[in-house]
Structure 1
Amino acid sequence: MNQAAIDSLATRSDFRAIARWVEPNATVLDLGCGDGSLLALLAEELGVTGYGIEINDAGVLACVRQGVNVMQQNLEDGLRLFEDASFDFAILSQTLQTIHQTAAILRETVRVGKECIVSFPNFGYWPHRLSVLQGRMPVSKSLPYQWHNTPNVRVLTIKDFEALAPEVGIEILDRVVLHGGRAVRWGENWRGSLAVYRVRRGSNGAAAA
């Protein structure tokens, strides 16, 4: 495994949860792939093939250096390049909170992926709540930026995502809530700092935009 993937695995606990759900030799679309470390990891360990989509110039260059197939594109423009169920898995790994058109991107994700994996920092984590009660926006390992320089445009909790999912035609298949790389088994919405979901398009199709 290349060094970038090793370093990312050490700091991104959702990578290991994602890898457990992805099937060997699957086709994968990684939306907001950053430096491509997740795809590199999945290719190394599971033999997956696929593409990353990234808007940031530095991220695209890092993907190329790792040998990851990448397309430079703004996710806000949609995924019209891809037909329905084009990939075995579509992944939104800590990308959802950086998107303005949240519902539209979720609909597109479950359209192009037969199954999908979505992870995001949980704003309901108790130190985040405490920071707000103290009058400050939270800064933590899962939300590492100050309010004035964060790439995040949304904050959401586990309950928020689970309320939105059926509204946009998403069926939740599985969930793991993490903190410090370990699964949280109870009190997830206040004890877990990171949520990872395995989902798919609902049987009645995605809700109309």
Structure 2
Amino acid sequence: MSLRPDLALIAAHVAPGSRVLDVGCGDGSLMAALRDNRGCDARGLELDPADVAAAVARGLSVVQGDADTDLADYPDASFDYAILSQTLQTTRRPDLILEQLLRIGKRAFVSFPNFAHWRVRLSLLWGGRMPVTRSLPLAWYETPNIHHVTVDDFRALVAERGITVEGCWFLSRDRGTGSAMANLLAEHAVFLLHR
């Protein structure tokens, strides 16, 4: 099975044999890849009951829960990595979720769609409406996205909180793009963080 490009990047950078918590794990695709290809002890937290059932059917350890409320139940430094892929923008308080990830995991991977990508900007400028793009395929009233984060917003947040960026990768059309103009050119961002 082929992983989504941001998940493939994350999987390639998780150390073999690590203990991993995938928050918002969906159907468990990343967890299964980490278990099968990297020998990781992968656990998951997922809100959607159908995705929980799909992940459990794969033999994965996933519990139904809400990142906004249930991360507080995990002990400090209980995982090598806490992963939040394409979920940050759907949480009520992304800043607090980030703090929880870095409390639970020694390192945290965070990936998100970049709402400052040039196609998004162009759609707003010329059409005056919230964009529907390949990377943001739902209309504003259907999307689970409640916070419109940009690469520069995220960089400012981690700097403000004294969080170290250990690595960052930017994707456009599912291929890597440079860091210098990532706020304009990247559709998705992946950050590896630690305290």
Greater alpha carbon shift after TM alignment, 156-165 vs 167-176: 167-176
Superimposed CA distance per residue, residues 156-198 of structure 1 (whole angstroms, 9 cap, x where no aligned partner): 1100000011333421111111112211124211111000000
Residue aligned with 1:146, SS: coil
Aligned to 2:115: 123
* Matching residue within 181, 185, 199 for 2:193: 199
Shift of 1:81: 2.2
Residue 114 of structure 2 is aligned to residue 90 of structure 1: no
Amino acid in structure 2 at the alignment position of 1:172:
V
Aligned to 2:171: 178
Residue 131 of structure 2 is aligned to residue 138 of structure 1: yes
Do the aligned partners of 1:39 and 1:68 also contact (CA within 8 Å) in 2? yes
* Matching residue within 151, 161, 164 for 1:158: 151
Do the aligned partners of 1:13 and 1:180 also contact (CA within 8 Å) in 2? no
Unaligned regions of 5+ residues in structure 2, if any? none
Q: Which segments of structure 1 move beyond 4 Å, counting only runs of 4 or more?
A: none
Aligned residue pairs total 193
- What aligned pairs does 1:4-83 form with structure 2 within 5 A after superposition? 6-7=1-2, 9=3, 12-83=4-75
Superimposed CA distance per residue, residues 1-57 of structure 1 (whole angstroms, 9 cap, x where no aligned partner): xxxxx15x1xx2101110121000110000011111110111111011121001111
Residue aligned with 1:29, SS: strand
Structure 2 length-normalised TM: 0.95
Shift of 1:151: 1.0
Shift of 1:148: 1.0
Shift of 1:80: 2.4
The percentage of aligned residue pairs carrying the same residue is: 45
Do the aligned partners of 1:51 and 1:69 also contact (CA within 8 Å) in 2? yes
RMSD of Structure 2 on Structure 1 (CA): 1.2
Structure 1 length-normalised TM: 0.89
CA distance in 2, matches of 1:166, 1:154: 19
Unaligned regions of 5+ residues in structure 1, if any? 1-5, 202-209
CA distance in 2, matches of 1:174, 1:166: 14
Amino acid in structure 2 at the alignment position of 1:150:
T
Shift of 1:72: 0.8
Residue aligned with 2:73, SS: coil
